[in-house]
Amino acid sequence: MLYLLDGQTKTSKWNGQPLFETMSAMVEEELNGTFQLRVTYPITDSGIHETLRADELILCPTPDLGKQLFRVKHIKIQDDTVELECYHISDDVMKRQIKPFSATNTTCQSALLRLVEACSSDLGIFSFDSDVTEPHTYVSDEDLTLYQALMDGKHSILGTWEGELVRDNFRLMVKKHRGKDKDVILTSHHNLKAYEDKLYSDKVITRIYATSTFQAEGSDEDTVLSVIVESSLINQYPYVHEARYENNTIQTEEGLRQWALSKFTHEHIDSISRQITVEAYQLDGQEVHLGDTVTLKSQKHKVDVKKKAVGYTFDALEEVYLSVTFDDEVSFTTSGSSGPHSLTSAAKTILDVNQSVTEHRASKERANFNKVFNRQFERLQTEVEDGIAMAKAEGERSGKKAALDYLATDALEARVAALQKAMIDELTVSSSAWMTRLVSQQILSEYVKSLEIEADKVVIPGRHTPVFSLDRDGNLSIDTPLLKVRGESLATQADLKTISLTPGPMGDAGADGVGIQSREQYYLVSAQKTGLTATSTGWSKTIPSLTSTLKYLWNYEKTTFTNGSTTVTTPIVIGVYGDKGVDGMAGKDGKTLYTWRMYADSDKGDGISAVSTGKRYLGLAVNRESATPSTNPSDYTWSSFFEGTELGGRNYIDDYAMKAVTFSSVTSEWKKEVVEDTSSVSGVTIKLTCTKAGTAGFHRNFYDLRSRIGATMTFSIDLKCSKSVTLNMGCELGGTKAYDVTTDWQRFVSSWKVSSYQYYSYIFYLKSGSWLVGDVVYLRNVQLEDGNVASAPGPSLNDLIAQIDAKADNGFMKQQLDLLTEKTESLRVDLEARALAKEVADWLKSYKEFEKNNEAVLAQFNQDFIDNTARIAAIEADLKANSLLLNFVNTYLRAGDNGVIIGKKDNSEYIELTPQGMMIKSAGNAVMTVTAGVIKIHHGVFVETLQVGYYRLEAARHNAKHLVCRFIDAK
């Protein structure tokens, strides 16, 4: 099902107006290319086609990314249908302007962060991340669009890091590999139903001009290297195609030459490329998605190859693939055409059963016409292989010598002493002979892990078999009956089993933690679609109704903790008022259906119960005809309460009150003060005052996360400012975001997957504008924890230990406090007596004020009563006048069989008005009718005259019994 949403919608979680009449919906996506939706909708009496306007959003299912948002860009109205061409929501930011920037020898994630920083305007809720960790360099020296910098060509970020783009609504990810190498075989005898094979020669490259520009150590000038290399197949084509390549990380001419040659030997840019499009039945649970690699077999076409899925056409109504395109490599443009630049091939992947005549001829002509080049290539290859062999031999010799030198130095003994003082499995041990043997084994393991040898294996030979060997996979083998270090024998596994350790004393109970006391939802309807905050007026706990003017429904959540502190989320729009649809046809009489809800201990329904206490899984069964829930677990669909939630709870930041923390200023300068604050969990608030105007702000390395690359972390802190600002805040290792900070306390939470980056501080930088002298930023209750859910702030483990030690130091004060108890008791009795007298006086004062205020209220009530009485009298008069009119209508006006009747209800005297004319009846008989412009009088008396044309009949003046006809001149 497709859904139509308002163009301002910022989430894909809400369904909009169902497009239930959709005739066709085709999703087309190319790897690192276009992502489009084409819809055909009928023009019907429902009028839904009129709501399909430009820039509205359509929510549509896709094969591997779930529901995606597409924006309507092109509308074509025909006789009976409306055709829509929609682009993926990520195209909204592709034309944003990017200022020149560079990312030198770093990860793709860092380059994406630089891209976001270089954007001239805020990218809103769009985010960029990557799992590609290989270092590369990207340089842009001119203004570009975001599309050009991110994905347009080999020199974009996508091309430089050779990644594969995933566009998931507002999140753009550059992955090393989007799909998987699957064991799926598509064959014409099993599940392959349509086959199309295309060969391309337009992008063949046979000559490369390669350059490298760099600055040598100690030099301020650029060094430029350039080489020209040709493919061994250059004479097999009737033309020469040239291309320029650049790699500024290579600093030798020979290295640059070998790198350029690898374009031919590994990436095969000198060969005709091949693209295969197939239609296939997916049987036996097989799934093939964009980026996956599968095996294609066709006996008819002599094909047996492994190919990557680089494009597809998907029927969004039936939710099935219509076709999938396979190719050798990934393209880095939106054209979708196959190019020759392979990224992952290390050898030729097109393994035709019968070698073509052209390839056979090419192999012979290479021998006949390129002898000189072949000789030079063979000589170069021999030199490279000899160099590799020499490197291996030298590495083997160096490895042996390094291992023996290490075992003969004092470094080992120092490491033994250090480890003897360490905590092993939380049990403290003292120095002893067996401990020395134990840590010696650990030291040897550490040394082996850190040893880097360029040879394939380090081997120390023995009399019959090698005594010591270590290969590149980390496999260590020591074949000796006794191993000693400094004369001490290393403990064996059997020795370790006999060692018994005594646990230390149990520590003091920790302080009570802070939990969540309540969560409350607040709602507000407004004509504004942006700009509302939690401090705006009108918020309520009940959901108000939307109108055509107040058409945006806002929502935020307030969390109250057991220590009294609160946090609020940023208000967002969760619904938009829509026009009422046309009434549908009346449905048939239905029957009542019920939804059953049960709880269990596992996803199999073990321990099924109607009570949720202590249960971890929720079971739902819908559209049931009985109101009584079943106790059969197989009737339910089970899901975990906690799926997808990662909760840490441990604060990694020592001194979370930040009393001893120093902040580093950037551009602007700041002075720190510690202010006592009873509403703060830590008891204090940090006040930072700007002493020198400027941009940026301050930063602090609360905790070094470089050892936790790849982990999911959550950073949270309470903030407010003397003025409303937008801060770039969070950890530079992938956790920075822009937040709107106001003059009221708010808790800001950021969850992210830690990524590699040159800098790793926690920043508080102004996104735009400048700080002025006297501006103040307040901070409190900083917390860093594992998982993606922020828990209540609290002290770190070291902070708790310090608090426990402080409590022990306070013991000596107990005696002095006891001496004050007697004096306190006597003072308490005296104060209670005084408080009682004051309470009576306050009560009397309040009663007199109430009596005085009550007189004013009574006088106002009397005046309101008089005014309301006058209003009621006026209403009565209006009702009487209306009743007279209503009485006349009820008495003399009614509907007849042929029209409207005016007259008596007994039909003795009345006038009847019909579509054909008018009829007058008297005494039950028709006396006159008016039809078709003619008056017919059945019975009548003319008292004075009757004139027809120029002649008039009238009674004689002298005798009324005589009838006279007179001629009347019209003049």
pLDDT tens for residues 135-166?
Answer: 998 998 889 999 999 998 888 999 899 899 99
For residue 840, give every residue at least 6 positions away whose Cβ sits within 8 Å of its Cβ, in sequence order, or none: none
Q: pTM higher than 0.75 for the full model?
A: no
Closest to 330 (Cα-Cα) out of 203, 159, 148: 159
Query: Do the Cβ atoms of 938 and 927 come closer than 8 Å?
Result: yes
- Judged against a pLDDT cut of 50, whether residue 338 lies above it is answered with no
| Single-letter amino acid, residue 436 | T
Residue 872 is predicted with a pLDDT of 65
* Cα 934 to the center of its chain, rounded Å: 81
Residue 75 is predicted with a pLDDT of 95
Interval 392-410 mean pLDDT: 51
Residue 792 is predicted with a pLDDT of 82
DSSP 318: T
What tokens does 520 get?
Answer: 């409350």
pLDDT tens digits, one per residue of 78-87:
989 999 999 9
Closest to 595 (Cα-Cα) out of 633, 625, 640: 625
Residue 716 is predicted with a pLDDT of 92
> Which has the higher per-residue pLDDT, 753 or 689?
689
What tokens does 930 get?
Answer: 């008016």
> Which has the higher per-residue pLDDT, 489 or 373?
489
> Which has the higher per-residue pLDDT, 888 or 707?
707
pLDDT tens digits, one per residue of 585-624:
776 677 788 888 898 988 889 999 988 877 778 888 888 8
Interval 930-949 mean pLDDT: 77
- Judged against a pLDDT cut of 60, whether residue 960 lies above it is answered with yes
Residue 591 is predicted with a pLDDT of 74
| Single-letter amino acid, residue 889 | V
- Judged against a pLDDT cut of 90, whether residue 771 lies above it is answered with yes
Residue 59 is predicted with a pLDDT of 94
- Judged against a pLDDT cut of 50, whether residue 387 lies above it is answered with yes
Q: How far apart (Å, rounded) are the C-alpha atoms in residues 317 and 202?
A: 37
Domain boundaries, the chain: 3-90, 94-175, 374-497, 516-576, 594-640, 664-795, 815-891, 900-967
> Which has the higher per-residue pLDDT, 324 or 878?
324
Q: What is the DSSP string of 253-265?
A: HHHHHHHHHHHHH
Residue 350 is predicted with a pLDDT of 30
What tokens does 292 get?
Answer: 């996956």
CATH classification of 664-795 is 2.60.120.260, yes or no?
A: yes
**Could you say which architecture CATH assigns to the domain 94-175?**
3-Layer(bab) Sandwich (3.55)
Least confident residue range of 126-130, 862-866, 934-938? 862-866
Query: Do the Cβ atoms of 188 and 62 come closer than 8 Å?
Result: no
Closest to 778 (Cα-Cα) out of 792, 790, 764, 791: 764
Closest to 779 (Cα-Cα) out of 912, 664, 870, 689: 689
371-407 and 357-369 are packed helices; what angle lies between their axes, rounded to 10 degrees? Answer: 90
- Judged against a pLDDT cut of 70, whether residue 353 lies above it is answered with no
Query: Do the Cβ atoms of 174 and 112 come closer than 8 Å?
Result: yes
Q: How far apart (Å, rounded) are the C-alpha atoms in residues 584 and 672?
A: 67
Q: What is the dihedral of CA 404, 410, 414, 419, to 10 degrees?
A: 20
> Which has the higher per-residue pLDDT, 117 or 362?
117
Query: Do the Cβ atoms of 892 and 902 come closer than 8 Å?
Result: yes
- Judged against a pLDDT cut of 80, whether residue 374 lies above it is answered with no
Band (369; pLDDT cuts 50, 70, 90): very low
What tokens does 79 get?
Answer: 């006789």
Segment of 116-120, 510-514, 893-897 carrying the highest mean pLDDT = 116-120
Query: Do the Cβ atoms of 141 and 100 come closer than 8 Å?
Result: yes
Band (344; pLDDT cuts 50, 70, 90): very low
> Which has the higher per-residue pLDDT, 732 or 358?
732
Segment of 192-206, 229-243, 493-507 carrying the highest mean pLDDT = 229-243
Q: How far apart (Å, rounded) are the C-alpha atoms in residues 498 and 653?
A: 40
Residue 30 is predicted with a pLDDT of 92
Query: Do the Cβ atoms of 900 and 889 come closer than 8 Å?
Result: no
What tokens does 564 get?
Answer: 């009294």
Band (864; pLDDT cuts 50, 70, 90): low
Mean pLDDT estimate for the chain = 77
Residue 828 is predicted with a pLDDT of 60
Residue 240 is predicted with a pLDDT of 86
HSE of 816 in the Cβ direction (CA atoms, 13 Å)? 4
Express the helix, strand and coil content of the chain in percent, nearest 5 each: 25, 35, 40
* Cα 422 to the center of its chain, rounded Å: 44
What tokens does 833 get?
Answer: 């007596």
Band (40; pLDDT cuts 50, 70, 90): very high
Interval 486-506 mean pLDDT: 68
Segment of 13-22, 72-81, 797-806 carrying the highest mean pLDDT = 72-81
- Judged against a pLDDT cut of 50, whether residue 375 lies above it is answered with no
Burial of residue 626, with CB atoms counted within 10 A of its CB: 0-12 exposed, 13-18 middle, 19 or more buried: exposed
